Amino acid sequence: MAIATERDYLLFINGEAAEPADGELRELTEPASGEPLGKVALAGERDVGRAVEAARAALDGDWGKTPPTERSRLLHALADAIVANRKELAELEARNVGKAISSAKAELNQAVENFRFMASAIASIAGRSNPLGGSLLFYSLKEPVGVAGQIVPWNYPLMMATWKLSPALAAGCSVVLKPDEATPLTTLRVAELATEVGFPPGAINIVPGGGPTTGAYLVSHPGVDKIAFTGSTATGAEVMKLASNGIKRLTLELGGKSPNLVFADADLDDAIPSSVWSIYYSAGQSCEARSRVLVEKPLYDDFVSRFSDSAQRIKVGDPLDPETQMGSLISQNHRERVHGFVEKGREEGAEVVLGGEPTDGNGAFYPPTVLAKVDNAMTVAQEEIFGPVVTVIPFEDEKDAVRIANDVRYGLMATIWTGDPARGHRLARRIKSGLIGINMPYTAFPGIPFGGYKQSGFGRELGLDTLEDYLETKSVLVSTSPKPFNPFQL
Ligand code: NAD
């Protein structure tokens, strides 16, 4: 695998690359090979302070004066620039995360569409007006919340960044975004492209850094008005506490343990390969990975066998090979964590039907793994493993399926496979998840609200609703009366 060490990646503050105040550069390695990838600057507290100041100045200056039509044009121009640089960005993402380049390309397409959707959605930002009766008139103004502090994880670095950047910029906010310290490269590159297409300095600032240090400081910074966080539920709880000082606006996109329900009347030729994709895409490192496959009892043994046969055929390997369907995990440490869950599953009585041992070599590879004979109370059925590990759980009937689907602290996504359309719609209402798929494995589309019930968080990404999270509503009351009010009759 070739090595991309041509340049260092600095912070991005006030429209340009910036040295970190304490000069810290970290060497990144490619998770799939262990080879060096490049050096990245890590932001400390002073750097976050500089970024927040730049974001505030942008709001008070050029960016704050940029009219919606021009914001829309800039977002489209950034989408065009990503398309023009897609080869470089896809390769960078694949190397940095260890993910298959075919996946990186698909996510890049979505990143582009996010900017385009929000560029168009700007047209929907409008207040309301109505006469209150008598001589009173009311109208409302929609104003940007201010400086948005955004924190994203390592699993979809560029796509998650665009989920956050596009609504914030469309609403007219300025942004300080903290990528995960291990995966900031594509986001830094997109910020450079944003300057090239004309975004004013300070509208977009990128400060890679550690979570409990740089991230926590960003959330606590008094100059930040709104926090948008994507990450684990445990970290989300910490962020919520920090954001409460200063009563910051907050949205949280957190973990999942999403069910995939397969009924005996389903079309198995579709349900099986789609269910395989739904867990192993991105090596299971997806918040909405359908990691609990619930199967109606008469089907169970046959399903486990056919599912495992399909999973075994996934092409795992070099992320840069266009044929690869599943790359490596993000790191050796993460692989150990994933394997620890599999071991725990074995101890608790699950049967490992496929995979279950780390792959030899320098890369952080872990094979597609199937755990059968799983009870929903087991650790492997309750905790987010965040790796290529599926748990297959039997159910008796529709009622039992709904009970098991909901018997978990998360509620992000659920997929239902059935030949009975009425059942699909019935269950869509009974399952407590932010997103339901009926005979369809895909999850995130620009324009369709995405987010969680229960401990999967609150707030929605990708939809028109998302814009509201970056806007304040100001009510203006106007008298049209020729007479003074003089309420005290003084
Ligand atoms: P994580 O919570 O450890 O880290 C996420 C981000 O938060 C990183 O940038 C990290 O540096 C930062 N962070 C860590 N501690 C922090 C703190 N105390 N204060 C502020 N920031 C802090 O999560 P992860 O392991 O990197 O990512 C995987 C998790 O993200 C999974 O739980 C996954 O389900 C979730 N996720 C959710 C969605 C969604 O849309 N619901 C999408 C992708 C990932």
* Catalytic annotation, pick one of 93, 287, 296, 384: 287
Tell me whether residue 287 is one of the annotated catalytic residues: yes
| Residue 151 CB less than 6 A away from ligand 1 | yes
User: What gap in Å lies between CA 70 and CA 120, rounded to an integer?
Assistant: 11
224 lines ligand 1 (CB under 6 A): no
CA 224 to ligand 1 centroid distance, Å: 19
pLDDT beyond 60 at 4: no
Cα 254 to ligand 1 centroid, rounded to whole Å: 7
What is the structure's pLDDT at 132? 84
**Pair type for strands 8-9 and 136-144:** unpaired
Q: What is the 3-state secondary structure (H, E, C) of the chain?
A: CCCCCCCEECEEECCEEECCCCCCEEEEECCCCCCEEEEEECCCHHHHHHHHHHHHHHHHCHHHHCCHHHHHHHHHHHHHHHHHCHHHHHHHHHHHHCCCHHHHHHHHHHHHHHHHHHHHHHHHCCCCEEEEECCEEEEEEEEECCEEEEECCCCCHHHHHHHHHHHHHHHCCEEEEECECCCCHHHHHHHHHHHHHCCCCCCEEECCECHHHHHHHHHHCCCCCEEEEECCHHHHHHHHHHHHCCCCEEEEECCCCCEEEECCCCCHHHHHHHHHHHHHHHHHCCCCCCCEEEEEHHHHHHHHHHHHHHHHCCCECCCCCCCCCECCCCCHHHHHHHHHHHHHHHHHCCEEEECCCCCCCCCCCCCCEEEECCCCCCHHHHCCCCCCEEEEEEECCHHHHHHHHHCCCEECEEEEECCCHHHHHHHHHHCCCCEEEECCCCCCCCCCCECCEECCEECCECCHHHHHCCEEEEEEEEECCCCCCCCCCC
Question: Given the CA of residue 255, which atom of ligand 1 is nearest to it?
Answer: 34
Query: Does residue 236 have a pLDDT over 70?
Result: yes
Residue 204 has pLDDT above 60, yes or no: yes
Condensed to tens digits (0 to 9), the pLDDT of residues 10-64 reads: 999 999 999 999 988 999 999 999 999 999 999 999 999 999 999 999 999 999 9
In ligand 1, the atom with minimum distance to the C-alpha of 180 is 9
Interior/surface letters 452-475, b for 16+ CB within 10 angstroms, e for the rest: bbbbbbbbbbbbeebbbbbbbeee
What is the rounded distance in angstroms from the CA atom of residue 128 to the CA atom of residue 406?
A: 39
Give the confidence band of 3 by pLDDT, cuts at 50, 70, 90. very low
Q: What is the pLDDT of residue 23?
A: 80
Indicate which residue of 181, 253, 288, 384 is catalytic: 253
- Token pair recorded at residue 367: 């094979």
253 lines ligand 1 (CB under 6 A): yes
- Tell me which amino acid residue 351 is: E
Take residue 343 and report the two structure tokens written for it: 């071991």
For ligand 1, atom 22: residue with the closest CA: 211
pLDDT score of 1 = 40
**Confidence class for position 133, pLDDT limits 50, 70, 90:** confident
pLDDT at 310 over 70: yes
Query: How large a percentage of the chain has pLDDT more than 90?
Result: 95
Question: Which pTM does this prediction carry?
Answer: 0.96
Across the chain, mean pLDDT equals: 96
Kindly tell me if the per-residue pLDDT of 174 is higher than 80: yes
Calpha distance 436→428 (Å, rounded): 6
Q: How confident is the model at residue 81 (pLDDT cuts 50, 70, 90)?
A: very high
Q: Average of pLDDT values for 266-289?
A: 98
Q: Is 209 in the pocket of ligand 1 (CB under 6 A)?
A: no
Q: What is the largest CA-CA distance in the chain?
A: 88
The mean pLDDT of 446-473, rounded to a whole number, is 97
